[in-house]
Amino acid sequence: MSILSANPERPIFKELLAKYPRRGILLFKLLEDSKSNGSALNKGVQEMVITYVSALNDPDSGGLTLEEFASDVDVDGQDVNQADASKNKALTLGKLSPILTFLKKLTLTPGQINDADVEPIFAAGWSERDVLDLVCLCSVVNCINRLAMGAGLDRRLSIG
């Protein structure tokens, strides 16, 4: 049930922002900026981050495995033929696994982040700009989720 007396049903986030548009402008501008051409991360990685962080915030999502989120992501934006698919999947998982581990810690225990958490990301070949883009995107998605939870909204986020 929503904590907002004007709508005792569980409105979705989008409906609340339609009623109070200025409340979401900054969040969505940050999200769009994180997803725009200004980011070094490709669209597949960005969408994976949004989906993964949203799932981490959802207590009904069940057990999350890194492989589920990394399986369909094309890290380098290259087409891979069927013969190389398993090799590419292993390489992709190796490159994305440190990111997903970092995002999980940043979402669930942000006060415990330290230098050791980003070292595997750099070792996997990601840049400082990539890490900053990941932190920004993760933070915006977490903020949107916290706003939805705090207002008692249905958290089916359609932010893509």
pTM of the model: 0.72
Is pLDDT at 157 greater than 60 in this prediction? no
pLDDT digits (tens, 9 = 90+) for 21-76: 777 777 777 767 766 666 778 888 888 888 889 888 876 766 566 566 555 565 55
DSSP 12-33: BHHHHHHHSHHHHHHHHHHHHH
Classify 71 in phi/psi space as left (phi over 0), alpha (psi -120 to 50) or beta.
Answer: alpha
155, two tokens: 């958290």
28, two tokens: 């969505």
Which pLDDT value is given to residue 85? 55
What is the CATH architecture of 13-150?
Answer: Up-down Bundle (1.20)
**Highest mean pLDDT: which range of 17-31, 80-94, 113-127:** 113-127
* Dihedral, 49, 110, 114, 89 alpha carbons, nearest 10: -20
